[in-house]
Amino acid sequence: MAVGIIGDPFTFQTLFVDSAGIPVTVANAAITIFRFNPAGSRVVLVAAAAMTSVVTEVGRYTYLYEIPDTMTAGWMLYGTMTATDPGSGDILRDETAVELLLETTVTGGGLVANFVQGG
């Protein structure tokens, strides 16, 4: 699980790989960002936005999201990232969960380590 600071940008990222686990340049890389309200209903914040390819790493895609000041500490955001493997036509899917915190509650200068495959 990742941590996001309310009012700051957060970069969603994924590494798309084919069925053999090899990073692949995909078609139609997109992200949907959502949260759940207290009633358990899904609230979509970003719907099927295009992701950006990282030029220096095949298969890596990112999306920069500015976490609104209106969010509440302790809420969770979810980013569902999808794409099409051009070789097989398979739909590739990944999801990242982000716990929201206020900057004042982060200790140690706010540095958070997230480990990603291939990085």
For residue 66, give the H/E element and its range: strand 60-66
CB 3 within 8 A of CB 11: no
pLDDT tens string 55-92:
999 999 999 999 999 999 999 999 999 999 998 999 99
- The model's pTM is 0.85
Q: What gap in Å lies between CA 119 and CA 100, rounded to an integer? A: 24
Half-sphere exposure of 62 (CA within 13 A, CB side): 12
Residue 45: pLDDT band (50, 70, 90) is very high
**Tokens found for residue 119:** 């990085």
> 71 φ, ψ to 5°?
-75, 165
The domain ranges of the chain are 2-42+53-97
- Which CATH number fits the domain 2-42+53-97, given the four candidates 3.40.50, 2.40.160, 2.60.40, 2.60.120? 2.60.40
